[in-house]
Structure 1
Amino acid sequence: MSDKKLGRNQKDTNDDMIHLVDNLNRDDDVKYNRRAFLKSAVGASVALGVATLPISIKAMLNNGQEDSAKVEIAKLSDVKRGNAINFNYPTAEEPAILVHTKDGELKAYNNKCTHLQCPVFYESEQDVLLCPCHKGYFDVKSGHPIAGPPQRELPLIEVKVINDTVYAVGRKIRHG
Protein backbone atom coordinates (compact mmCIF):
# COMPACT_ATOMS: atom_id res chain seq x y z
CA MET A 1 0.00 0.00 0.00
CA SER A 2 1.07 3.54 -0.55
CA ASP A 3 1.68 6.05 2.21
CA LYS A 4 -0.23 8.82 0.52
CA LYS A 5 -3.11 10.34 2.53
CA LEU A 6 -6.55 10.04 0.88
CA GLY A 7 -9.18 12.73 0.94
CA ARG A 8 -12.58 12.31 2.49
CA ASN A 9 -14.85 9.72 0.76
CA GLN A 10 -12.06 8.53 -1.48
CA LYS A 11 -10.92 4.97 -1.86
CA ASP A 12 -7.55 3.70 -2.89
CA THR A 13 -8.79 2.22 -6.16
CA ASN A 14 -9.33 3.11 -9.79
CA ASP A 15 -12.57 1.12 -10.05
CA ASP A 16 -15.32 3.17 -11.77
CA MET A 17 -18.08 1.81 -9.47
CA ILE A 18 -16.51 3.57 -6.51
CA HIS A 19 -16.59 7.00 -8.18
CA LEU A 20 -20.35 7.11 -8.88
CA VAL A 21 -20.90 10.19 -6.71
CA ASP A 22 -18.38 12.21 -8.74
CA ASN A 23 -20.94 12.87 -11.48
CA LEU A 24 -23.44 14.60 -9.17
CA ASN A 25 -23.86 18.28 -9.74
CA ARG A 26 -24.27 20.37 -6.59
CA ASP A 27 -26.71 22.74 -8.37
CA ASP A 28 -29.06 19.87 -9.25
CA ASP A 29 -28.88 18.59 -5.70
CA VAL A 30 -29.99 21.96 -4.34
CA LYS A 31 -32.66 22.47 -7.02
CA TYR A 32 -34.35 19.06 -6.62
CA ASN A 33 -34.41 18.63 -2.87
CA ARG A 34 -37.22 17.93 -0.43
CA ARG A 35 -37.77 21.60 0.41
CA ALA A 36 -38.30 22.51 -3.26
CA PHE A 37 -40.75 19.64 -3.68
CA LEU A 38 -42.75 20.71 -0.62
CA LYS A 39 -42.85 24.32 -1.83
CA SER A 40 -44.25 23.15 -5.17
CA ALA A 41 -46.82 20.90 -3.49
CA VAL A 42 -48.02 23.68 -1.18
CA GLY A 43 -48.16 26.12 -4.09
CA ALA A 44 -50.29 23.73 -6.15
CA SER A 45 -52.62 23.13 -3.19
CA VAL A 46 -53.10 26.86 -2.63
CA ALA A 47 -53.77 27.40 -6.35
CA LEU A 48 -56.44 24.68 -6.38
CA GLY A 49 -58.02 26.04 -3.21
CA VAL A 50 -58.22 29.56 -4.62
CA ALA A 51 -59.65 28.24 -7.90
CA THR A 52 -62.55 26.52 -6.09
CA LEU A 53 -63.26 29.45 -3.75
CA PRO A 54 -65.98 31.08 -5.92
CA ILE A 55 -67.87 27.78 -6.17
CA SER A 56 -67.69 27.29 -2.40
CA ILE A 57 -68.94 30.82 -1.70
CA LYS A 58 -71.86 30.37 -4.10
CA ALA A 59 -72.79 27.08 -2.45
CA MET A 60 -72.72 28.64 1.04
CA LEU A 61 -74.82 31.63 -0.02
CA ASN A 62 -77.30 29.37 -1.85
CA ASN A 63 -77.98 27.38 1.35
CA GLY A 64 -79.08 24.27 -0.55
CA GLN A 65 -81.58 26.06 -2.75
CA GLU A 66 -81.27 26.69 -6.42
CA ASP A 67 -82.63 29.54 -8.45
CA SER A 68 -86.38 29.23 -8.66
CA ALA A 69 -89.00 30.26 -11.15
CA LYS A 70 -92.75 29.73 -11.07
CA VAL A 71 -93.70 27.12 -13.68
CA GLU A 72 -97.22 25.82 -14.29
CA ILE A 73 -97.44 22.04 -13.92
CA ALA A 74 -101.12 21.13 -14.34
CA LYS A 75 -104.65 21.80 -13.21
CA LEU A 76 -105.31 20.27 -9.79
CA SER A 77 -108.55 18.75 -11.04
CA ASP A 78 -106.59 16.86 -13.75
CA VAL A 79 -104.40 15.08 -11.18
CA LYS A 80 -106.61 12.64 -9.26
CA ARG A 81 -105.64 11.23 -5.86
CA GLY A 82 -103.31 8.26 -6.16
CA ASN A 83 -101.98 9.43 -9.55
CA ALA A 84 -98.87 11.18 -10.79
CA ILE A 85 -97.85 13.22 -13.82
CA ASN A 86 -94.47 14.02 -15.31
CA PHE A 87 -93.27 17.53 -16.07
CA ASN A 88 -89.97 19.37 -16.51
CA TYR A 89 -88.48 21.69 -13.91
CA PRO A 90 -86.50 23.97 -13.54
CA THR A 91 -85.45 23.62 -17.19
CA ALA A 92 -87.01 21.79 -20.10
CA GLU A 93 -84.23 19.16 -19.94
CA GLU A 94 -84.76 18.16 -16.29
CA PRO A 95 -87.62 15.68 -15.74
CA ALA A 96 -89.74 15.82 -12.61
CA ILE A 97 -92.75 14.03 -11.17
CA LEU A 98 -95.81 15.42 -9.37
CA VAL A 99 -97.64 12.96 -7.11
CA HIS A 100 -101.13 13.49 -5.68
CA THR A 101 -100.94 11.05 -2.77
CA LYS A 102 -103.82 9.01 -1.42
CA ASP A 103 -103.85 11.38 1.58
CA GLY A 104 -104.46 14.34 -0.75
CA GLU A 105 -100.97 15.85 -0.51
CA LEU A 106 -99.07 17.15 -3.52
CA LYS A 107 -95.43 16.09 -3.64
CA ALA A 108 -92.98 16.79 -6.44
CA TYR A 109 -89.43 15.53 -6.94
CA ASN A 110 -86.81 15.37 -9.63
CA ASN A 111 -87.54 12.30 -11.72
CA LYS A 112 -84.03 10.84 -11.65
CA CYS A 113 -82.98 8.18 -9.19
CA THR A 114 -80.05 9.34 -7.08
CA HIS A 115 -78.31 6.01 -7.68
CA LEU A 116 -77.83 5.88 -11.47
CA GLN A 117 -80.22 8.55 -12.81
CA CYS A 118 -82.91 6.11 -13.99
CA PRO A 119 -86.49 7.47 -14.15
CA VAL A 120 -88.62 7.16 -11.02
CA PHE A 121 -92.29 6.09 -11.17
CA TYR A 122 -95.14 6.40 -8.67
CA GLU A 123 -96.44 3.04 -7.44
CA SER A 124 -99.90 3.89 -6.09
CA GLU A 125 -100.64 0.49 -4.51
CA GLN A 126 -97.62 0.70 -2.20
CA ASP A 127 -97.64 4.54 -2.13
CA VAL A 128 -93.90 4.74 -2.98
CA LEU A 129 -91.67 6.06 -5.73
CA LEU A 130 -89.99 3.20 -7.55
CA CYS A 131 -86.81 3.08 -9.60
CA PRO A 132 -87.14 -0.08 -11.71
CA CYS A 133 -83.46 -0.22 -12.77
CA HIS A 134 -82.20 -1.65 -9.47
CA LYS A 135 -85.40 -1.78 -7.41
CA GLY A 136 -84.81 1.42 -5.49
CA TYR A 137 -87.73 2.65 -3.39
CA PHE A 138 -88.30 6.19 -2.12
CA ASP A 139 -90.80 7.42 0.46
CA VAL A 140 -93.36 9.50 -1.44
CA LYS A 141 -93.85 11.88 1.50
CA SER A 142 -90.18 12.75 2.08
CA GLY A 143 -88.26 11.53 -0.97
CA HIS A 144 -85.86 9.57 1.28
CA PRO A 145 -84.69 6.15 0.09
CA ILE A 146 -86.34 3.24 1.92
CA ALA A 147 -84.95 0.22 0.00
CA GLY A 148 -82.45 -0.67 -2.69
CA PRO A 149 -79.15 0.89 -3.66
CA PRO A 150 -80.02 4.65 -3.55
CA GLN A 151 -78.34 6.39 -0.61
CA ARG A 152 -79.48 9.99 -1.14
CA GLU A 153 -82.97 11.47 -1.18
CA LEU A 154 -84.60 12.88 -4.30
CA PRO A 155 -84.34 16.66 -4.79
CA LEU A 156 -87.60 18.20 -3.61
CA ILE A 157 -89.59 20.52 -5.86
CA GLU A 158 -91.74 22.95 -3.92
CA VAL A 159 -95.27 23.31 -5.25
CA LYS A 160 -98.01 25.86 -4.73
CA VAL A 161 -101.69 25.72 -5.77
CA ILE A 162 -103.19 28.96 -7.03
CA ASN A 163 -106.77 28.96 -8.42
CA ASP A 164 -106.83 25.20 -9.17
CA THR A 165 -103.45 25.39 -10.93
CA VAL A 166 -100.39 23.64 -9.52
CA TYR A 167 -97.12 25.55 -9.88
CA ALA A 168 -93.54 24.52 -9.24
CA VAL A 169 -91.99 27.40 -7.31
CA GLY A 170 -88.58 26.15 -6.20
CA ARG A 171 -86.22 23.23 -5.88
CA LYS A 172 -84.38 22.15 -2.77
CA ILE A 173 -81.40 19.80 -3.00
CA ARG A 174 -81.05 18.17 0.39
CA HIS A 175 -78.14 16.18 1.78
CA GLY A 176 -78.98 14.08 4.78
Structure 2
Amino acid sequence: MSNKEKLGRNRKDSNDDMVNLVDNIERQNDLKYNRRSFLKTAVAASVTLGVATLPFSIKAMLNDGEEEQVKVKIAKLSDVAKGESINFNYPTDQEPAILVHTKDGELKAYNNKCTHLQCPVFYEKEQDILLCPCHRGFFDVKSGHPVAGPPQRELPLIQTEVINDVIYAVGRKIRHG
Protein backbone atom coordinates (compact mmCIF):
# COMPACT_ATOMS: atom_id res chain seq x y z
CA MET A 1 0.00 0.00 0.00
CA SER A 2 1.47 3.35 -0.98
CA ASN A 3 1.62 6.43 1.24
CA LYS A 4 -1.01 8.12 -0.90
CA GLU A 5 -3.37 5.18 -0.42
CA LYS A 6 -2.69 5.12 3.32
CA LEU A 7 -3.52 8.79 3.65
CA GLY A 8 -6.63 8.43 1.56
CA ARG A 9 -8.20 5.39 3.22
CA ASN A 10 -9.95 7.45 5.94
CA ARG A 11 -10.81 10.35 3.63
CA LYS A 12 -14.44 10.73 2.75
CA ASP A 13 -15.64 11.97 -0.60
CA SER A 14 -15.81 15.52 0.70
CA ASN A 15 -13.45 18.42 1.08
CA ASP A 16 -15.25 19.67 4.19
CA ASP A 17 -12.73 20.00 7.06
CA MET A 18 -15.18 18.75 9.68
CA VAL A 19 -15.59 15.42 7.95
CA ASN A 20 -11.87 14.87 7.53
CA LEU A 21 -10.85 15.39 11.17
CA VAL A 22 -9.38 11.90 11.35
CA ASP A 23 -6.49 13.06 9.19
CA ASN A 24 -5.02 14.82 12.28
CA ILE A 25 -4.79 11.68 14.40
CA GLU A 26 -1.46 9.94 14.61
CA ARG A 27 -1.71 6.45 16.00
CA GLN A 28 1.69 6.67 17.77
CA ASN A 29 0.67 9.74 19.77
CA ASP A 30 -2.64 8.13 20.66
CA LEU A 31 -0.82 5.12 22.12
CA LYS A 32 1.85 7.25 23.76
CA TYR A 33 -0.45 9.73 25.57
CA ASN A 34 -3.30 7.64 26.91
CA ARG A 35 -4.96 7.64 30.33
CA ARG A 36 -3.11 4.57 31.62
CA SER A 37 0.35 5.99 30.93
CA PHE A 38 -0.66 9.30 32.52
CA LEU A 39 -1.80 7.51 35.68
CA LYS A 40 1.39 5.43 35.79
CA THR A 41 3.46 8.61 35.56
CA ALA A 42 1.39 10.35 38.25
CA VAL A 43 1.70 7.40 40.66
CA ALA A 44 5.44 7.09 40.01
CA ALA A 45 5.94 10.82 40.71
CA SER A 46 3.92 10.58 43.93
CA VAL A 47 5.90 7.58 45.16
CA THR A 48 9.19 9.29 44.29
CA LEU A 49 8.24 12.43 46.24
CA GLY A 50 7.07 10.33 49.19
CA VAL A 51 10.33 8.39 49.32
CA ALA A 52 12.35 11.60 48.98
CA THR A 53 10.67 13.14 52.04
CA LEU A 54 10.84 9.98 54.14
CA PRO A 55 14.12 10.85 55.94
CA PHE A 56 12.72 14.23 57.01
CA SER A 57 9.54 12.60 58.29
CA ILE A 58 11.51 10.07 60.33
CA LYS A 59 13.69 12.83 61.80
CA ALA A 60 10.58 14.85 62.75
CA MET A 61 9.00 11.82 64.45
CA LEU A 62 12.15 11.02 66.43
CA ASN A 63 12.66 14.65 67.51
CA ASP A 64 10.61 15.39 70.62
CA GLY A 65 10.11 19.03 69.54
CA GLU A 66 12.17 20.46 72.36
CA GLU A 67 15.00 22.85 71.64
CA GLU A 68 18.25 22.08 73.33
CA GLN A 69 18.12 24.05 76.55
CA VAL A 70 20.89 26.61 76.83
CA LYS A 71 21.49 28.12 80.26
CA VAL A 72 22.74 31.71 80.06
CA LYS A 73 23.57 33.98 82.97
CA ILE A 74 21.66 37.26 82.69
CA ALA A 75 22.49 39.27 85.83
CA LYS A 76 22.43 39.25 89.60
CA LEU A 77 18.96 39.64 91.05
CA SER A 78 20.20 42.32 93.43
CA ASP A 79 21.42 44.40 90.43
CA VAL A 80 17.94 44.59 88.85
CA ALA A 81 15.61 46.67 91.00
CA LYS A 82 11.84 46.29 90.91
CA GLY A 83 10.38 48.24 88.02
CA GLU A 84 13.63 48.07 86.03
CA SER A 85 14.67 46.16 82.94
CA ILE A 86 17.90 45.03 81.32
CA ASN A 87 18.75 43.79 77.85
CA PHE A 88 20.64 40.57 77.19
CA ASN A 89 21.05 38.04 74.38
CA TYR A 90 19.45 34.60 74.36
CA PRO A 91 19.90 31.84 73.17
CA THR A 92 22.64 33.18 70.89
CA ASP A 93 24.57 36.46 70.81
CA GLN A 94 22.57 37.56 67.75
CA GLU A 95 19.14 37.30 69.41
CA PRO A 96 18.33 40.24 71.71
CA ALA A 97 16.09 39.78 74.73
CA ILE A 98 14.71 41.87 77.57
CA LEU A 99 14.32 41.02 81.26
CA VAL A 100 11.81 42.99 83.31
CA HIS A 101 11.67 42.92 87.10
CA THR A 102 8.04 43.96 87.52
CA LYS A 103 6.75 46.22 90.27
CA ASP A 104 5.16 43.09 91.79
CA GLY A 105 8.58 41.42 92.03
CA GLU A 106 8.12 38.95 89.15
CA LEU A 107 10.82 38.31 86.57
CA LYS A 108 9.58 38.33 82.97
CA ALA A 109 11.83 37.86 79.96
CA TYR A 110 10.93 38.02 76.27
CA ASN A 111 12.62 38.19 72.90
CA ASN A 112 13.35 41.84 72.28
CA LYS A 113 11.92 41.98 68.75
CA CYS A 114 8.42 43.24 68.06
CA THR A 115 6.36 40.56 66.31
CA HIS A 116 5.15 43.17 63.79
CA LEU A 117 8.34 44.35 62.07
CA GLN A 118 11.16 43.16 64.37
CA CYS A 119 11.83 46.58 65.94
CA PRO A 120 13.33 46.58 69.46
CA VAL A 121 10.92 46.58 72.39
CA PHE A 122 11.46 48.80 75.45
CA TYR A 123 10.05 48.72 78.97
CA GLU A 124 8.03 51.77 79.99
CA LYS A 125 8.24 51.90 83.78
CA GLU A 126 5.51 54.54 84.26
CA GLN A 127 2.91 52.61 82.23
CA ASP A 128 4.25 49.15 83.20
CA ILE A 129 4.14 48.05 79.55
CA LEU A 130 6.48 46.96 76.78
CA LEU A 131 6.57 49.46 73.92
CA CYS A 132 7.61 49.13 70.29
CA PRO A 133 8.28 52.72 69.19
CA CYS A 134 8.34 51.98 65.44
CA HIS A 135 4.55 51.75 65.05
CA ARG A 136 3.39 52.26 68.65
CA GLY A 137 2.83 48.63 69.50
CA PHE A 138 2.20 47.80 73.14
CA PHE A 139 2.66 44.45 74.89
CA ASP A 140 1.51 43.35 78.35
CA VAL A 141 4.52 42.88 80.64
CA LYS A 142 2.99 39.94 82.51
CA SER A 143 2.03 37.85 79.45
CA GLY A 144 3.79 39.32 76.41
CA HIS A 145 0.47 39.54 74.55
CA PRO A 146 -0.17 42.60 72.36
CA VAL A 147 -2.60 45.11 73.87
CA ALA A 148 -2.52 47.90 71.26
CA GLY A 149 -1.06 48.75 67.88
CA PRO A 150 -0.32 46.63 64.84
CA PRO A 151 1.33 43.55 66.47
CA GLN A 152 -0.95 40.50 66.34
CA ARG A 153 1.27 37.85 67.98
CA GLU A 154 2.73 37.72 71.48
CA LEU A 155 6.41 38.01 72.23
CA PRO A 156 8.26 34.69 72.61
CA LEU A 157 8.69 33.98 76.32
CA ILE A 158 12.10 33.27 77.78
CA GLN A 159 11.96 31.09 80.86
CA THR A 160 14.09 32.25 83.78
CA GLU A 161 15.48 30.66 86.91
CA VAL A 162 17.13 32.25 89.95
CA ILE A 163 19.96 30.33 91.61
CA ASN A 164 21.97 31.93 94.45
CA ASP A 165 20.92 35.50 93.53
CA VAL A 166 21.84 34.95 89.85
CA ILE A 167 19.18 35.10 87.12
CA TYR A 168 19.56 32.54 84.32
CA ALA A 169 17.70 32.20 81.05
CA VAL A 170 16.95 28.48 80.76
CA GLY A 171 14.56 28.07 77.84
CA ARG A 172 12.40 29.73 75.26
CA LYS A 173 8.72 29.15 74.61
CA ILE A 174 7.16 30.31 71.36
CA ARG A 175 3.44 30.57 71.94
CA HIS A 176 0.57 31.24 69.57
CA GLY A 177 -2.82 32.17 70.90
The CA RMSD measured in Å over matched residues stands at 3.1
TM-score by length of 2: 0.76
Q: What letter corresponds to residue 152 of structure 1 in structure 2? A: R
Is this contact kept in 2: 1:66–1:172, CA < 8 A? no
Is this contact kept in 2: 1:99–1:122, CA < 8 A? yes
**Structure 1 partner of 2:122:** 121
Matches within 5 A, 1:83-162: 83-162=84-163
Unpaired runs of at least 5, structure 1: 1-8
Q: CA deviation at 1:156?
A: 0.7
Q: What letter corresponds to residue 103 of structure 1 in structure 2? A: D
Is this contact kept in 2: 1:74–1:165, CA < 8 A? yes
**Structure 2 partner of 1:82:** 83
Q: What letter corresponds to residue 82 of structure 1 in structure 2? A: G
SS of 2:15 mapped into structure 1: coil
Unpaired runs of at least 5, structure 2: 1-9
**Structure 1 partner of 2:7:** none
Identical counterparts, % of pairs: 77
C-alpha spacing 1:135/1:72, structure 2 compared with 1 (3 Å): same
C-alpha spacing 1:46/1:92, structure 2 compared with 1 (3 Å): farther
**Distance in structure 2 (CA, Å) of the matches to 1:97 and 1:156:** 10
Is this contact kept in 1: 2:11–2:23, CA < 8 A? no
Specify which structure has the bigger relative contact order, considering alpha-carbon pairs within 8 angstroms and separated by 6 or more residues. Answer: 1
Q: CA deviation at 1:157?
A: 0.5
Q: CA deviation at 1:101?
A: 0.9
Once the two structures are superposed, residues 31-84 of structure 1 have per-residue CA deviations (whole angstroms, 9 ceiling, x without a partner) of: 445665566556656655665666666667444x42211100011122111111
Q: Runs in 1 of length 4+ with deviation above 2 angstroms?
A: 9-63
Count of residues in Structure 1 that have an aligned counterpart in Structure 2? 169
**Structure 2 partner of 1:72:** 73
TM-score by length of 1: 0.76
Is this contact kept in 1: 2:114–2:121, CA < 8 A? yes
Q: CA deviation at 1:28?
A: 3.1
- Comparing 24-33 with 137-146, greater Cα deviation is found at 24-33
